[in-house]
Amino acid sequence: MAWYDDFKAILTLDAPLGPKTWLGVGGAAKYFFVPRGSEELSALVRRLGAARIPFHVLGAGANLLVRDEGVSGAVLSLAAPAFAAVTITGNRVQAGAGADMAKLVLQCARAGLAGLECLAGIPGTVGGQIRMNAGGSFGSIGSRVREITVMDHTGRVSTVAREQLSFTYRQGYRDAPLILRAELELTPEDPQRLAARIKEIWMYKKNTQPLAEHSAGCIFRNAAGVSAGALIDQAGLKGLAVGLARVSERHANFIVARPGATARQILDLIELVRRRVRERFQVALETEVVIW
Ligand SMILES: Cc1cc2nc3c(=O)[nH]c(=O)nc-3n(C[C@H](O)[C@H](O)[C@H](O)COP(=O)(O)OP(=O)(O)OC[C@H]3O[C@@H](n4cnc5c(N)ncnc54)[C@H](O)[C@@H]3O)c2cc1C
């Protein structure tokens, strides 16, 4: 009897991860689970612990680079409907970690609630965005989070209040492995004004980012207040390529992958960019993209 026999209904063995990420590259997960609810997830987390199988949590894969070798442990996806429920009560929004942020931004705007427009054009799930404190010059998700519900490595569920949370530049909640849902506090606003604002932010993104190509958003973190994209641009690296991976001409901090690109090519390009920027500006760029 295998350790996963009780979970066969939600398990895919050797599941290719590339198609589940925005970059579209990388190998397979040895064990890929899509639990149907919190109790099943809790039992699975306990079983993984007992079997000493490490696990990763997958959101929309918008900030993820999976190596060509894949993941030898388990990957847990919160894509089941039970993790994507959204309820709006007054100016409070309860959103499951698996909820799609693009849809939530529009849903809140239609309900006349402001605060998430800053996330227009940023792909991902509620859980992934809270993990990364997604955002940018228009604002970040962290400022709207009142409380989150999380699960620890023993499968225990607890809530973490705003006062215990710390959101900094692209660093959100990382203490427990699984974010299950969040309560957001928004501000009443005219839906038409919100729609216009979302359109404005969306157009800005469309004009400055290679949205039609495979990418993972910004590859590097800004270094001590200096824009990583500006450094890469000033080093003349736009268009630099390794195989089918290329530094975007539209946004120097994006690497775009043509169909057929490998994770190895992207990783080599990351190292090349890092080396050239270090040689030119004596700045060591750190990656923002999560590498599995
Ligand atoms: C075209 C494009 C533009 C982008 N622009 C921006 C931008 O302007 N600003 C910005 O901040 N980001 C941007 N990104 C990156 C990406 O959208 C964000 O990082 C987003 O938060 C990723 O969410 P996700 O659900 O896809 O997470 P994933 O990529 O699936 O995972 C990212 C990390 O979060 C963890 N995670 C995911 N879900 C959970 C969960 N439920 N519980 C615990 N951990 C979890 C994963 O384990 C992983 O460590 C962009 C990406 C693309 C492709």
CATH code of the domain containing 243: 3.90.78.10
The mean per-residue pLDDT over the stretch 147-173 comes to: 95
**Does one domain contain both 59 and 94?**
no
**Does one domain contain both 32 and 96?**
no
Considering only residues 151 and 226, tell me which one the structure prediction assigns the higher pLDDT. 151
**Does one domain contain both 232 and 173?**
no
Query: Minimum mean pLDDT among 1-5, 127-131, 230-234: which range?
Result: 1-5
Q: How far is the CA of 118 from the centre of ligand 1 (A)?
A: 15
Residue 268 has pLDDT above 90, yes or no: yes
For residue range 131-150, list pLDDT tens digits in order.
999 999 889 999 999 999 99
- Per-residue pLDDT, 114: 97
Q: Is the CB of 151 under 6 A from ligand 1?
A: no
Asked if residue 244 is part of any domain, the answer here is: yes
- Per-residue pLDDT, 256: 98
**Does one domain contain both 201 and 260?**
no
The mean per-residue pLDDT over the stretch 200-229 comes to: 93
Asked if residue 60 is part of any domain, the answer here is: yes
- Per-residue pLDDT, 223: 84
- To the nearest whole percent, how much of the chain has pLDDT over 90? 96
DSSP assignment of 31-52 equals: EEE--SSHHHHHHHHHHHHHTT
**Does one domain contain both 69 and 121?**
no
d(CA 53, CA 46) in angstroms, rounded, equals 10
Domain range for 272 is: 228-291
Q: Is the CB of 264 under 6 A from ligand 1?
A: no
Mutation to probe ligand 1, out of 21, 63, 174, 218 (largest number of atoms < 8 A from CB) = 63
CA torsion sign for 171, 34, 123, 215 is: positive
Mutation to probe ligand 1, out of 131, 198, 227 (largest number of atoms < 8 A from CB) = 131
Average pLDDT for the chain: 96
Q: How far is the CA of 124 from the centre of ligand 1 (A)?
A: 5
Residue 182 has pLDDT above 90, yes or no: yes
Compute CA 243 distance to the chain's CA centroid, rounded to the nearest angstrom: 25
d(CA 12, CA 230) in angstroms, rounded, equals 42
Asked if residue 219 is part of any domain, the answer here is: no
Longest CA pairwise span in the chain (Å) = 59
**Does one domain contain both 66 and 96?**
no
Residue where the block lists tokens 């290679």:
210
**Does one domain contain both 38 and 56?**
yes
Cβ atoms of 225 and 282 within 8 Å: the answer is: no
**Does one domain contain both 164 and 94?**
yes
Measure the CA angle with vertex 189, ends 185 and 191; round to 5°. Answer: 115
Domain end position, chosen among 80, 106, 134: 80
Among candidate residues 98, 32, 29, the one with its CA nearest the CA of residue 66: 29
Domain total for the chain? 3
Cβ atoms of 88 and 115 within 8 Å: the answer is: no
Residue 269 has pLDDT above 90, yes or no: yes
- Per-residue pLDDT, 137: 87
Confidence of residue 125 (pLDDT cuts 50, 70, 90): very high
Element (H, E) at 264: helix 263-281
For residue range 47-89, list pLDDT tens digits in order.
999 999 999 999 999 999 999 999 999 999 999 999 999 999 9
**Does one domain contain both 269 and 159?**
no
Mutation to probe ligand 1, out of 25, 66, 132 (largest number of atoms < 8 A from CB) = 132
CATH code of the domain containing 27: 3.30.43.10
Cβ atoms of 92 and 183 within 8 Å: the answer is: yes
Asked if residue 140 is part of any domain, the answer here is: yes
Domain end position, chosen among 208, 240, 256: 208
Helix, strand or coil, per DSSP, at residue 186: coil
- Per-residue pLDDT, 1: 84
Q: Is the CB of 62 under 6 A from ligand 1?
A: yes
Q: Is the CB of 104 under 6 A from ligand 1?
A: no
Asked if residue 213 is part of any domain, the answer here is: no
Confidence of residue 122 (pLDDT cuts 50, 70, 90): very high
Q: Is the pTM of this model over 0.85?
A: yes
**Does one domain contain both 103 and 76?**
no
The mean per-residue pLDDT over the stretch 98-108 comes to: 97
Residue 239 has pLDDT above 90, yes or no: yes
Q: How far is the CA of 58 from the centre of ligand 1 (A)?
A: 9
Domain end position, chosen among 57, 80, 103: 80
Asked if residue 64 is part of any domain, the answer here is: yes
Residue where the block lists tokens 């190292």:
271
Q: In the numeric block, which tokens belong to residue 37?
A: 């609810």
Q: How far is the CA of 143 from the centre of ligand 1 (A)?
A: 17
- Per-residue pLDDT, 285: 96
